[in-house]
Structure 1
Amino acid sequence: MICGVDEAGKGSVLGPMVVAAVGVRSADIIAGLGVRDSKQLSPEERERLFGLIKKKCRVATVIIPAEEIDAIRREMTMNACVARAHAEVISRLAPQTAVVDACDVNPFRYAEMVRGHLVHSCEIISEHHADCTYPVVSAASIVAKVTRDREITKLAKKYGKIGSGYPSDPETVAFLSAYIDQHRTPPPIARKSWKTVSVMLAKKSQSSLSAFF
């Protein structure tokens, strides 16, 4: 078996990170589905392919919520966190070879990071932009993206319009700012260790203090 591994939501300030692995016995299975990097697909097409991938391939996913990411980052870097999660989904499928989308500037070093968490022997192929060059990693990117989008939809039903969860999304920033104004603390779904949150808290604190002078 060969499996591809990718994640969605690594840089998000709201919501979870999702890591997915897709395993196949033959590359022909994936090739016949016509998968591409999830970022190049419409939400509708991702949903359609998600169903086909789940039906024809072995799939493993790990969902790491915001509060857990904050706790993990007190012990290790974000890249190390991703590497451990990559190893977890690889271990669930136990393939002979795994292709991972490298989360480190040095793909060879990243391969060693992932390998260090594995409990069984597995060849690790680590490359940048593997989700564009390996269909099996493209499939994993689709599974990760769809799974995370569904998690964000669940959170939006509870908290209202939260946007995509990324710091570059004005709707996400507006939600975060309004929540802090109302509750004097970031929402439970925010990654409090993110610079976006700390900078926003600092600015609001400074603004509050200036009112007294």
Structure 2
Amino acid sequence: MICGVDEAGKGSVLGPMVIAAVGVTSESVLEGLGVKDSKELSPKERERLYGLIRKRCTVSTVRLDAQDIDRIRGEMTLNAAVARAHAQAINKISPSCAYVDACDVNTLRYAEMVKSSLDSPCEIVSEHHADQKFAVVSAASIVAKVVRDRAIVSFAKKYGEIGSGYPSDPVTIRYLSDYIDEHKVPPPIARKSWKTVSNLIAQKTQRSLGDF
């Protein structure tokens, strides 16, 4: 078996990062489905393909919530955390070869980072933009994206309009700012170790001091 591994939500300030591994006996299993990098697909198309991928392939996911990421970042770099999570997703499938989307400028170094957390021998093919080069990684990117998007929808039902969760999203930043104004602390779904959060708190603290 070979598998592809990718993640969604790595740079998000709200919500989880989801890592997915998709295993196949041959890439021909994915032929004709039209899988591609999840960013190039509409939400409706991702949902459709997600169902087909789950039917045809072996799938595993690892979810790291905001609190998990804050805790882990006190122990290691984010890239190291992603590599370990990639390995955890691979371990659940036990393929002979895994294609991973490298989260390090040095692809060989990233492959070694993943290997160091594997339970059993597995060839690691680490490349940048692997989700655009290998169908099996494209499939993993779709699974990770759908699982994460569903989590964001669930959070929105509980917390209100939170946007995409990314720092570049004005809706997300407005939600964060309003929540901190009201509660004086970031929401439970926020990654408190992110500069986006600490900068917002610092700005508000300076503004409050300025009132005096």
Question: Shorter-chain TM-score: which interval?
Answer: over 0.9
Tell me what 1:134 maps to: 134
RMSD: 0.4
Tell me what 1:83 maps to: 83
Q: CA deviation at 1:141?
A: 0.1
Q: CA deviation at 1:104?
A: 0.2
- Alpha-carbon separation, structure 2, partners of 1:31 and 1:106: 31
- Alpha-carbon separation, structure 2, partners of 1:159 and 1:20: 26
- Alpha-carbon separation, structure 2, partners of 1:149 and 1:76: 26
Tell me the TM-score normalized by structure 1.
Answer: 0.99
Q: CA deviation at 1:9?
A: 0.2
Q: CA deviation at 1:210?
A: 0.4
DSSP-derived class of the 2:141 partner:
helix
- Alpha-carbon separation, structure 2, partners of 1:79 and 1:59: 23
Tell me what 2:24 maps to: 24
- Alpha-carbon separation, structure 2, partners of 1:200 and 1:52: 42
Please show how residues 130-209 of structure 1 align to structure 2 within 5 Å.
130-209=130-209
Structure 1 runs of 4+ off > 6 angstroms? none
Identical aligned residues as a percent = 68
Tell me what 1:48 maps to: 48
- Alpha-carbon separation, structure 2, partners of 1:31 and 1:74: 42
Letter aligned with residue 13 of structure 1: V
Tell me what 2:64 maps to: 64
What do the CA deviations read for 1:122-143 (whole angstroms, capped 9, x no partner)? 0000000000000000000000
DSSP-derived class of the 2:167 partner:
coil
Q: CA deviation at 1:33?
A: 1.4
Letter aligned with residue 196 of structure 1: T
Q: CA deviation at 1:200?
A: 0.5
- Gaps of at least 5 residues in structure 1 are none
Q: CA deviation at 1:32?
A: 2.6
- Gaps of at least 5 residues in structure 2 are none
